Amino acid sequence: MKGLTSLERIIVESLGKHGQPFETIQEQTGLQENVCFNLLQALILKGIISFEKKTYQINPRISPLIIEEKNGQEAKKAESLEVIEAIADMKEDKLYRFQKIALDEKDEKIFKAMLHNLESFLKEANEKSQSSTLLKDKKIIFWGMSDVQKVVKQIVKG
């Protein structure tokens, strides 16, 4: 995988702009000590993060090419698939629905307006609670809509 795994990305997110000591990263992410340590070492080897003065931080000398590779479209697609597979495999505490729904033009417009309202709500809720919520306690929310025909074409196309 060219990009970061979901777990690596969680580590990078937990570092913030100024970096964090190991204990804070572990608390933020909720990862077991050995898993957290191994991921940090892997990120150091990849040149994504560095370790100085008992603090892990995003490597300030990381090249724009590496950033694009790790955050590009293919990397985001792979990460999304990894997260969706994990959610699909969960046995408890999930509240996700995938359905094929028949909508006329009017109902589709109403739904799109509701999605816009949802996005506004989520943005405000995130801004309000972001600083007081540990990374491990954040929620994964996804939503959207597409045509069955377009999805089928994409599946066939690969």
pLDDT tens-digit profile of 124-135?
Answer: 999 999 889 998
Percentage of residues in the chain with pLDDT exceeding 70?
98
For residue 89, pLDDT over 70 is answered with yes
Q: What is the mean pLDDT of residues 97-107?
A: 90
pLDDT tens-digit profile of 12-35?
Answer: 989 988 889 999 999 999 999 999
Percentage of residues in the chain with pLDDT exceeding 90?
47
How much is the pTM?
Answer: 0.70
CATH 1.10.10.10 intervals, the chain: 6-70
pLDDT at 124: 96
SS3 string of the chain?
CCCCCHHHHHHHHHHCCCCECHHHHHHHHCCCHHHHHHHHHHHHHCCCEEEECCEEEECCCCCHHHHHHHHCHHHHHHHHHHHHHHHHHCCCCCCCCCCCCCCCHHHHHHHHHHHHHHHHHHHHHHHHHHHHCCHHHCCCCCCCCCCHHHHHHHHHHC
Q: What is the mean pLDDT of residues 39-54?
A: 93
For residue 1, pLDDT over 70 is answered with no
Q: What is the mean pLDDT of residues 4-15?
A: 88
Mean pLDDT for the chain overall: 87
pLDDT at 94: 67
Distance CA 123, CA 51 (A): 32
Of residues 150 and 120, more confidently modeled:
120
| CB proximity list for 83: less than 8 A, separation 6 or greater | 6, 140
Q: Report domain 6-70's class.
A: mainly alpha
